[in-house]
Every structure is written in structure tokens, then in C-alpha cells.
Structure 1
């Protein structure tokens, strides 16, 4: 499988579709992996060069040697784009992946042609979230996911998400390294606010929320879309990991952008 190494970290990705065509980068959410985007990638492959990335500390990009930030994730994505000599890419990011996508667009605007920000939280972590996720990181580091598996799955998926989708997430969580999980959670807690400096982004954006995700994230999605002057799309019945639960709808939004922004 293709990979790059940046700052001593191996970052693994899949490539599907037409080499030489428009690049679409897929970046998953916290404690997910590139497999959550498999069905989306397959739908987009006939018309794009799809690059489906395991963010560091997740999936096959395991084995982190140190703490990392969303800026590190953005730099990893930039290195993947550099390895492909890609410009004008469409970057699709879910939650943690959305935070990395925005940082990438700020740092490398010449490489990015459009964004799809799914389940994005545009705010820094609240004091309550810092306590909650700090405790989660400690549990994951010392005990692994078993004691908190039910609550983590509830945060990642809608209650009626398909059994195979929930099963794939469960298997991924059980396979993750404890240190990687804890570092990924701490990366999320330390994220910067997406609202800062958004006025400098001059590119098409879609903001996507799951209808079965938390009401707070739905409200945050409206704020983010308003600030960006972006279209807001709600995918009925989808939980936080929208790409795994409603891949056809996510792929359709990306296809719209492919048409809108040209070849």
C-alpha cells in the first residue's frame, strides 16, 4: 500500500480511480480509519483520483512516537499531496479530519480547490470536554477500549447504524495501540478553533452534518456554514461517522463539487 514518511511517522493511504484526474483526499474522524471511507471512495473512483488516508495514530498509520496535533495531521496530508504532485484537490474531512483539512487549506491554499467539512466542530474544546476526553485518554492508555467501548461507539455511530458498520469500528478500536488512541484523543482536545481566520479561505465549501449526530454539532455546523457562506447539508439518520453510514449521500456531495469546480 502507498505511504509517505514525514517527521519519522509513516502515513498510509489507498489510491483508487483515474490517475491524472482530479484528486479527492478523504480524511476520517477520531478513532476511525480509512476503511470508514471505503464505500465513498469506490463511488468516486470512476471520475476522480481518490486518496484515502489513515491519519497518524489510526489504522495502518499506527505506531506514533510522540504526541501530535491537528497541524501535524495537516502537514501529513500536505506531504501526501506533494508525493502525488497534486494541486486543486478536493479534501473531504470528518470531525478530526475536517480540522486537519481546514489547517491544510490555510497552510497550502494553492493545493486545495474545495473542502467538504463533515461533522466538524469549529470550536476549541470546552472545559467539560477537556475533562471528559482527558479521562477517556487515560482509560484508553491504561486499560484499552474495552471499558468504554459502548460509549465510544455511541459517539461514533447512530443507534440504528448497520451491524457491519459498527462491527468494523469495533474491530478497528480493538486493534488500535493504546498509546496511539490516547495521543489521538489528546490531539482532538487540543484542536484550534476552525472559526479563526476563515475569512481567508476563498474556495467552495460544503458543510455536512448527520441528522442523528449530537444537536450541538448540528448547531455548530450551521455556525460554520454561515461563517463560510457555505451550503449546509444534513444527511438524515446519519451519526457522527457519516461516511460509513451514508456513503452514497457523501459521495454525491463530492460529485457535485467535482462538477462545480471543473475537471
Structure 2
């Protein structure tokens, strides 16, 4: 099992992001980007399974977990700017970005705007668009009256339905505790930034190799939503995880790690055959 180290990086004045690091110094740098309400802990099941070929970094985004909480700056482009600053602060010249759920929006903005820094992009249950999703309008309504302290039932309801397979209760409890660290204003502003952004526009200009991974039991993102991404990103690969829900990296971490490692190998050695979908 790979050892996980906890560190922190000051990405700009007044903003320090904790991050988890795992893997081997000579491995391909892989930066993991979590979604709304999560922290680096979202990727603990992946990091402890990283092979020698990968070197993983999982920053906690602003306002989340134990990261600093500036009063503003919670739109997808703000999180994207933080990601580029994180690459600079940790001295990562070029990396594979792996975005999960809404974290994939910031990741693809960086992939489109800084292709010189991004070797490849992996999207795990990432929305193509949210404009037509009932869950999106439901979240907006649920956040209207949210105030501090954020109630545990709100967080538990937010996480319910994300997985189609059983997840270890201890891990789910950890994720609930991490989500409870977010002040109400961070929940509201991060969600508003996501819901008010033209997500289709964030898919424009992505020229780096891209892999889309989706669970066919995802309650939030139907197959046609993923087609929005595949139509926009030329040559993107697509892997369907049968029986998995929205959080494929929690439900099938071994497979996700294997697919990321295979993707990295193909980038390093273009003649490497793709594995089975």
C-alpha cells in the first residue's frame, strides 16, 4: 500500500491549500481535483493504490476541508486559477489532471487554457452541462436557506445517491465530516458559480488527450450528458463502468487507478494498446 504524505502549499498571498501526496518521485505527475463539498480525502482510496509509475497530488480546494477560506472567488475559473498556481507552487511543470464530478470543470478549464502544462485529462463522472439537470435545480433550492452551522442532514442528503454500490461506512463518515467543514457561504457561492457558468463553453479548446469515465448507474448524469463532452473534445476516449454510480473513484478505486495508469502509459508510449473498455 502506498504511503500518503500530508503537506501544504501557499498558492498566493492569503491562500494556502493542504494537499496529499503519494507515489514515487519518478512517476508521472497526476493531480487529482475534487468536487463540491469534498477535500483531498475524496481521493484517499486512489492514492493508497497508486503504482510506482504514478506520483499523485490531491489538493484541497479553497473554502473546502482545511484549506483557507477567502471571502470570495468560488467560480470555476477561480478554482482553475488556483490549480495553475498549485502546479507552480509545488513545482510540477506538466501533469495529468484527473477531475471528479464538478472538480472536472476546473480541470478542463486548465486543460483548455494551459495545454503546455497538462499532459492529459481524465474526467470521472463530470457533467457535460447542468442546465437541464433536475439535481442542479434541486441543489439550488436546497441551498437557499442554508446557514451556519451547516446541518448534518443537509450534507448526508447531498451525498446520498452518489454511489450505486456499497461504500465503507467509515469512509462515508469521513466525507460527511469533511463536507461539514464548509461554511454555508462556500456551499452557496461554489454551487452558484458552477450552476451559473456555461459549462458547454468550458469544453471549448481542449486539445490534450482526454479520457472520460462514467458509471452507467449515475443518477445525475445520463449517457447523453457524457456525449456532450465526447462531441466537444476531439478524440476523447470513453470508458463505461457497468453498475457504478456517480462516484466511480469511491466505488471502483482499483479499476480507476489501473485506467489512469494505462492512460499515462499511452501518453508516454503512444504505441501502447488501449485496455478493454
In the superposition, the TM-score normalised over structure 1's length comes to 0.88
Quick one: distance in 1 between partners of 2:160 and 2:224?
19
3-state DSSP class of the match of 1:140? coil
Gaps of 5+ in 2: 1-6, 270-277
Q: Displacement of 1:257 after TM fit? A: 1.3
**Deviation readout 1:8-41 (Å, 9 max, x if unpaired):** 3222212222235421000112112211101211
Q: Displacement of 1:155 after TM fit? A: 4.2
Q: Displacement of 1:102 after TM fit? A: 0.7
Q: Displacement of 1:166 after TM fit? A: 2.2
Distance 1:72 1:196, change over 3 A: closer
Q: Displacement of 1:204 after TM fit? A: 1.4
Distance 1:143 1:246, change over 3 A: same
Any conservation in 1 of the 2:28–2:54 contact (CA below 8 Å)?
A: yes
* Structure-2 residue corresponding to 1:60: 66
Distance 1:7 1:156, change over 3 A: farther
Q: Displacement of 1:43 after TM fit? A: 1.9
* Structure-2 residue corresponding to 1:237: 243
Determine whether 1:210 maps to 2:215: yes
Any conservation in 2 of the 1:210–1:239 contact (CA below 8 Å)?
A: yes
Quick one: distance in 1 between partners of 2:110 and 2:218?
25
* Structure-2 residue corresponding to 1:221: 226
Quick one: distance in 2 between partners of 1:211 and 1:75?
32
* Structure-2 residue corresponding to 1:114: 120
Bigger fraction of residues in helix = 1
Gaps of 5+ in 1: none
Quick one: distance in 1 between partners of 2:133 and 2:169?
34
Distance 1:48 1:152, change over 3 A: same
In the superposition, the TM-score normalised over structure 2's length comes to 0.84
Distance 1:62 1:217, change over 3 A: farther
Per mean C-alpha deviation after superposition, the further-off stretch among 126-135 and 3-12 is 126-135
* Structure-2 residue corresponding to 1:104: 110
* Structure-2 residue corresponding to 1:177: 183
